[in-house]
């Protein structure tokens, strides 16, 4: 009769990856590489979003500064 004890590296790998971070023994090198690539791509997406928001805020600040400068140096008499 075969043993039913779990050995490292054996068993179903997908459910543990779906449920969350799997144990070190359940992950082979390819799975670790794919998880690393996914994490890096998520970080890059957040970094691109941060750069876009920073650019929009800088643009709004520049427009506001231009409006204030035009109002400050307005020499027309009413």
Q: What is the pLDDT of residues 12-25, one digit of tens each?
A: 555 555 545 555 55
Q: What is the DSSP letter of 21?
A: P
Domain membership of residue 24 (yes or no) is yes
pTM higher than 0.75: no
* Per-residue pLDDT reduced to its tens digit, 41-64: 999 999 999 999 999 999 999 999
Q: Is residue 1 part of a domain?
A: no
Give a yes or no: residue 2 inside a domain. no
Owning domain of residue 57 = 14-72
Structure tokens at 71: 């109002």
Q: Are the CB atoms for 26 and 13 separated by under 8 Å?
A: yes
Name the domain count of the chain.
1
The DSSP element (H or E) to which 45 belongs, if any, is helix 29-72
Cα–Cα distance between 25 and 10 in angstroms, integer?
Answer: 9
Q: State the Cα–Cα distance between residues 18 and 22, nearest whole angstrom.
A: 9
């Amino acid at each position: 009769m075969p043993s039913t004890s779990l050995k490292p590296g054996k068993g179903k790998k997908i459910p543990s990856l779906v449920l969350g971070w799997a144990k070190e023994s359940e992950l082979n090198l390819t799975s670790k590489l794919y998880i690393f690539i996914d994490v890096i791509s998520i970080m890059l997406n957040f970094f691109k979003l941060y750069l876009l928001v920073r650019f929009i805020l800088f643009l709004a600040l520049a427009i506001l500064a231009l409006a204030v400068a035009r109002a400050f140096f307005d020499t027309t008499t009413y």
